[in-house]
Amino acid sequence: MKIMPLERRGISDSRLALGCMGLGGSWNQTETYTAEHVRQAEAAIEAALSIGITFYDHADIYTRGKAESVFGEVLKKQSKLREHIVIQSKVGIQLADEALPGRFNFSKEHILPSVDGILERLGTEYIDILLLHRPDPLMEPEDIAEAFTQLKRSGKVRNFGVSNMSPGQIRFLQRELPDPIVVNQLEMSLLRHDWVDHGIHVNQKAGLKDNFPEGLMEMMQMEHIQIQAWGPLAQGRFSGKVTENATEAEIKTSALVQQLAEENETTPEAIVLGWLMKHPARIQPVIGTVNPERILACRDAVRQSERMTREQWYTLLVSARGVNMP
């Protein structure tokens, strides 16, 4: 059986990751986290562990650092947990304030103290993977390489990756980096299916409207870069959430997902994730919910990815596209 790139590298065999953006309360800078927020984090982590999720995705900006802080509180309470999980975090986004707009910063001067902040909030000596959080137009690979080298030598970061980057941007960075880029995190789901459409639309007029980077899926598979999907549950649009602006394609696809879930005696969440995970790239979905019930509803995703037929996969895709294959 084909394995995930992260497993090939000996980093993680967790087919699902838990996204921790919803931890820590509000994004209000003046509000602090509470004991209830810590309990919420404990419940989410417990639910994730119970279904085999050992990979946890953070970013230094999530609820302005509070997501990492409450996760760190859980690690303090469960001292042996750290050695059994993989923690990933991201740097590079600076949020807007009264004086300046939101912006990106991949400078060595920003990366190094940002990682120190991550480690302090999490209460850990290292993180397993550090991602650059979205492309910075002013990024200088040599400067980034110096930061990464220092972080690796100090033992603060073990592996490095990126998010939302094109093949050209990845190659531009990799040329200078001493270690391989092991992850690229992208928005991918049954709703956000342009990553599939781009390949289908080769030599088609419909391809003129495609926005997905040329050759990205193929390049990451050839280079054994783990594709991580953020937003894989599509905000619940196909698993029970009712939205006023739902398209006809979304309504029909939601009904089809429910039908397949009933036929396979599973949950809509497992079908939606299973569709994504069936792709040969061995995509690792980063589920964004911290609701224990919804986390548990993802339990059967791996099995559904293995059981899903080509016919079912294409039927879901065509339904979500709202148009037939070319």
Give the pLDDT score at 205: 83
As a whole number of angstroms, the longest Cα–Cα distance in the chain is 57
Alpha helix segments (H runs only) across 64-215:
66-77, 108-122, 141-154, 167-174, 194-200
CATH superfamily of 5-244+279-299: NADP-dependent oxidoreductase domain (3.20.20.100)
Give the pLDDT score at 142: 98
Predicted confidence band of residue 1 (pLDDT cuts 50, 70, 90)? low
Give the pLDDT score at 68: 98
pLDDT digits (tens, 9 = 90+) for 36-49: 999 999 999 999 99
The pTM assigned to this predicted structure is 0.96
Give the pLDDT score at 243: 82
Q: What is the mean pLDDT of residues 108-135?
A: 98
Among residues 191, 278, 283, the alpha carbon closest in space to that of 231 is found at 191
Q: How are beta strands 181-187 and 157-163 bridged, if at all?
A: parallel
| Percentages of the chain per state (helix, strand, coil), in multiples of 5 | 45, 15, 40
Give the pLDDT score at 157: 98
Predicted confidence band of residue 210 (pLDDT cuts 50, 70, 90)? confident
Q: What is the mean pLDDT of residues 14-38?
A: 96
Q: Is the pLDDT score of 169 beyond 70?
A: yes
Q: Is the pLDDT score of 241 beyond 90?
A: no
Q: Is the pLDDT score of 242 beyond 80?
A: no
Q: What is the mean pLDDT of residues 204-224?
A: 90
What are the CB-based long-range contacts (under 8 Å, 24+) for 79-87? Answer: 81/45, 82/124, 84/54, 85/54, 85/55, 85/56, 86/11, 86/12, 86/14, 86/54, 86/55, 86/56, 86/128, 86/129, 87/56, 87/58, 87/122, 87/124, 87/127, 87/128, 87/129
Q: Is the pLDDT score of 322 beyond 80?
A: yes
Give the pLDDT score at 240: 85
How high does pLDDT run on average in the chain? 96
Q: Which residues have a catalytic role annotated?
A: 62
Q: What is the mean pLDDT of residues 120-128?
A: 98
